[in-house]
Structure 1
């Protein structure tokens, strides 16, 4: 693997972006994040407007109910001598009130349906865009970010947004409509009593502002810690055999327990600040009721308003404070969703792989001449990996690249495939700069067989077809036979229809490597890169595939990253990388006779000589 920046547990840089977010007190750009989130919601405009329409009807019905109750109460006339009731008007009013409540229930049910659909359609679009962004990110991004944290953004953060939209979007719309409607009606009843009841609004704004300041910090931190835990779990699952073989189970448990405790403490603080918002709002709201009852009673005694008006005013005051309280109670979810949305948009807004290649380049016409000219490259500025490297490869040559660990062997491949851009210098294929070649055509002319095989949870047939999507089953079987993989495939009960487990774990390492080679055979590349493709198979399996590999490399430019020097003695040229430069090159016999870097490497492997 190429040397990478120092990484912390779970593949995270200790001083990198994840660590930095732990000190945030608020999102970097909450306003812009909210704007983008609203943009996603607005993509389903018909559903969104339908929800607004339903919420408007519900609001109007809810606003009508207190007025109808006021009419019902005023049907009862109280005097010192007697009490009179207009039963006819009262009956009609109560029937009307029942109809209002029934319709409100029906439309509230419709609101739930529309909210759920809007939520799912929104997060489906967001999840699709996020995944599309992920597959277009440069290799460097995935190498320097925790995979578990990226997965957390795709799952936990998106799900938090889904929950918030389904639960809160209706409350927000209803809240705005209710607040406007109640204020208008209250002003019509009594402007003075309206001003008295709204006096608590300023107290509400002040308290919510103070609590929000503390809440943001902990909800952002909670999401980051959750991403780190996911990264730790993913690392544990992938490296489980290593953990067990070294007896580090308890260490892993202790480390996870420590991270889990940090999340627990942060979660408690976040929920405390989030949960205290509702009770505070209720307290302020109840104080407002006291003011209305006291001043309303005095106004009724003076004859300014009726008793029914006081009842209606209290109900309208409740309706005015209800959306504020609901939003306050859901503020924790809203903050979590905004924090998650910001993390999602960070990935979406990350620089994608650029492709300026516009040259007329046909994969079928590639000869395979490769030239590295004065290449300088570093993964991090202070640690240069390649220094003024020059390397020329002729078409059809089989070139072995050797060197000590960290010398830059795999880096050469990363640069040729444009996984990373060079700092300076030029790389050409058939005399054409690889940066002028369209990236998809460049990579279709190259096939890579890695030491660590990559297989997908699909059938064996589809895993081999990954090399060429339009290949027929006969071509797939021919490629498998060429790689000597057909024997073990045919022995499987489902043959080519056998579904592989995740990572191909239901096959042996040697069988997985054979499938990877068959995939490269099917791709029929002009340039072949082998990262010690046979190092993970047993001796018998290696003998089976050597003849296939020789045939595959015939008439192709082949770069072999060699760890075992015994496998590259018949290479046309052996290139020794030392200190980021080409130290020497030649045949096996020439380099042994020169007694330089290659000679010392060879002696170290086969003679046990320490140099």
Structure 2
């Protein structure tokens, strides 16, 4: 995988990436559609709440001056209807009234008065009240050189007169609470539904990525750091999760909110709305600048995160080597450099957000100032109500949040697109070992192996094997010898089909390995390597490898064959002894013995030993050789060993030199030829002596 972290992501939204991302969402479109429908309800609730507040102010709270009809009955039983008018100075507030020139006596305490015997035509004149005074316990108001007596009301009397208003306010409050709760419930359902859908999508993506990684050739893992691959499966998929569960729906919500608020403001007062829209150019400029700089910041952070993950994965795994060669200080300096680069990248991102958010707040304050100045002037002139002004103030507060969210979500989307490109680059990696849909599944592999004119190269043109041909009969033990780089291990890897050859043909029991089912092929081959890998768990789980057909009895039997049972029985928990990552608490010899037990427990038809006894002391090796002789009986065994003394009893020895087969025969035959094998044997014999 040629994954250059610094490559610029294509501008705009790559249609192919989006198409592939939507393909993962397609099975859940019904749930996503329901979530979007619920989102409309959430936006509707947010738009209604300011309207309810504004209506409460206009229709109820500010109804200070109201005409009432009082029904009275005189002493003779006749019914009389008297129109009275409730007036208040509270709409001006006490200090504002003073500024308007209204004079209050010291005895003035009550803000509400009831005036009777007033003509409807005089009601409009009450706004010109210039004086509220009291004399002999009575109250008077003066306006336009007219002085009228008014009745001062106590709190109980005011409550009786405004009982309908109070009831109306209670109803609106109940409606407001119902809308609020309904909005919260819908938001909860929508969030749960969307996150559930997002997790299902990401679950499928992670499965696809890991499944694809498992099918890649060994060459791929040689060329790519483990930390980078871990970043792909974890960090990058989590970024996509945020896109599915947050960005897309929140972007739709932001657009709906902006549209809804704009429409509502135009309906309420188009002139004030146009005045507010004067800040739109500032919004566009600041948002475009934010998008430009934050996109770069996001990419740099993702690059540095992948780099530090790769560094940590490699050096924590190789910490023993670091400590053996006293490289702690140098590696610490390297880590400080990588960590510092990540910190600087994060700081750049923080600076971008630190500038953008206050700039958005400044634009919001400008918009609010326009509402208060222009809208307040309209209220004073009587062309707009106080309730509408309050609605605009709330709408203007809600107007800038979606814009800021859209800008931030755009950058998360950019980050998700960058992550998706990396993920799909990995999924498009073609160094995969294909398993044909109509592959052949053999009930049993006998172990007849044949190489026909095989040519193989890890890198194009650099041939490792050149026109290699040989045959191994079932039950034979064949050893491969030769200098380092001759191609011995490559032959073993090709038999298990960890790589595909460029020319020639490899046959197992007469079938081309490319036509055989991979699982069937590899499960029939027991491969014991010099570098033993143990997984976190216990001894039983490392031998069984999740194969429930392998019983505890079979594990113990295999362990006894390779003499691993001796050291296992000395452990505190025996076969349940905990195994840490890579088997760090076991010696090299113990790990090798467990590897032998693991291989033998699977009862393979073909045994492959690649320097498998290199890390075993002489005494342990003798015990293993004894077990191997028993196990190799009736099985095809392929051995790679630099110590020729370990392969003298092989049925056939194949000598490789610079990728070609130079000699084939048994030990005595090859010595008699006085060729390459004879020279290697003599060289080792001299070194021993």
Task: Tell me whether the two structures share a fold, i.e. TM-score over 0.5.
Answer: yes
- Counterpart contact for 1:160–1:340, Cα < 8 Å: yes
1:309 correspondence with 2:351: no
Matched, 1:269 2:348: yes
Distance (Å, rounded) in 2 between the aligned partners of 1:570 and 1:157: 53
Q: Secondary structure at the match of 2:569?
A: helix
Query: Quick check: which has more Rg, 1 or 2?
Result: 2
**Which residue of the other structure, out of 71, 90, 100, is the alignment partner of 2:55?**
71
Q: Distance in 1 between matches of 2:240 and 2:202?
A: 7
Instruction: Evaluate the alpha carbon distance shift between residue 143 and residue 108 of structure 1 in structure 2; reply closer, same or farther with a 3 A threshold.
Output: farther
Give 1:86-101 correspondences, 5 Å limit: 88-89=164-165, 92-93=168-169, 96-97=172-173, 99-101=175-177
* 1:607 aligned counterpart, secondary structure: helix
Aligned pair count reads 592
Instruction: Verify: 1:414 aligned to 2:493, yes or no.
Output: yes
Q: Which of 81, 102, 106 pairs up with 2:128? A: 81
Q: Does 1:104 align with 2:104?
A: no
Shift of 1:561: 1.4
TM-score by structure 2 length? 0.78
Determine whether 1:58 maps to 2:137. Answer: no
1:376 to 1:99, Cα distance in 2 relative to 1, 3 A: same
Q: Deviations over 1:463-489 (max 9, x none)?
A: 222395413332222222222222222
User: Which of 256, 280, 283 is 1:177 aligned to?
Assistant: 256
Q: Distance in 2 between matches of 1:304 and 1:438?
A: 82
Matched-pair contact (CA < 8 Å) for 1:400–1:573: yes
How far off its partner does 1:594 sit? 3.2
d(CA) in 2 for partners of 1:39 and 1:271? 34
Other-structure match for 2:640: 561
User: Residue 525 and residue 302 in structure 1: after superposition, are their counterparts in 2 closer, same or farther (change >3 A)?
Assistant: same
Q: Is the 8 A contact 2:433 2:500 kept in 1?
A: no
Q: Which has the higher contact order (CA 8 A, sep 6+)?
A: 1
Specify which structure has the higher proportion of strand: 2
What are structure 2's unaligned runs of at least 5 residues?
A: 64-90, 92-125, 131-157
Superposition pairs for residues 129-208 of structure 1, below 5 Å?
129-162=208-241, 171-208=250-287
Q: Is the 8 A contact 1:25 1:216 kept in 2?
A: no
Counterpart among 409, 421, 427 of residue 506 in structure 2 = 427
Per-residue deviation, 1:248: 1.0
Pick closer, same or farther for the CA change 1:271–1:69 going to 2, 3 Å. Answer: same
Question: Are 2:340 and 1:355 aligned?
Answer: no
Secondary structure (helix, strand or coil) at the match of 2:527 reads strand
- Contact persistence 1:277–1:328 (CA under 8 A): no
Q: Does 1:17 align with 2:64?
A: no
Aligned with 2:459 (options 364, 370, 380): 380
Q: What is the 5 A alignment of 1:251-330?
A: 251-297=330-376, 299-300=378-379, 303-329=382-408
Matched-pair contact (CA < 8 Å) for 2:533–2:582: yes
Partner residue of 2:118?
none
Partner of 2:418: 339
2:70 is matched with none
RMSD: 3.2
Check whether the contact 2:480–2:656 (CA below 8 A) recurs between aligned residues: yes
Give the C-alpha shift of residue 173 in structure 1.
4.3
Aligned 8 A contact 1:27 1:342 in 2 = no
Of the structure 1 ranges 219-228 and 107-116, higher mean CA displacement relative to structure 2 is found in 107-116
Q: Matched residues in 2 for 1:345 and 1:27: separation?
A: 17
TM-score (norm 1): 0.87
Find the residue that maps to 2:537 and give its secondary structure: coil
Q: Distance in 1 between matches of 2:339 and 2:433?
A: 35
**Which residue number corresponds to residue 368 of structure 1?**
447
Find the counterpart in structure 1 of residue 617 from structure 2: 538
Q: Tell me if structure 2 keeps the 8 A contact 1:138–1:419.
A: yes
Comparing 167-176 with 177-186, greater Cα deviation is found at 167-176
Question: By how many angstroms is 1:161 displaced?
Answer: 4.5
| Distance across 1 between alignment mates of 2:21 and 2:437 | 34
> 2:298 aligns to what?
219
Q: Distance in 2 between matches of 1:184 and 1:86?
A: 34
Aligned to 2:671: 592
Contact in 2 for aligned 1:26/1:217 (Cα 8 Å): no
What is the deviation of 1:391? 2.2
Report the alpha carbon displacement of residue 250 of structure 1 after superposing the two structures with TM: 1.1
Secondary structure of the 1:198 match is helix
- More deviation in 165-174 or 429-438? 165-174
Aligned counterparts of 2:169 and 2:511: Cα–Cα separation in 1: 86
* Deviation string, structure 1 residues 367-411 (Cα, Å, up to 9, x no partner): 322111221211111422112222222222211112222222111
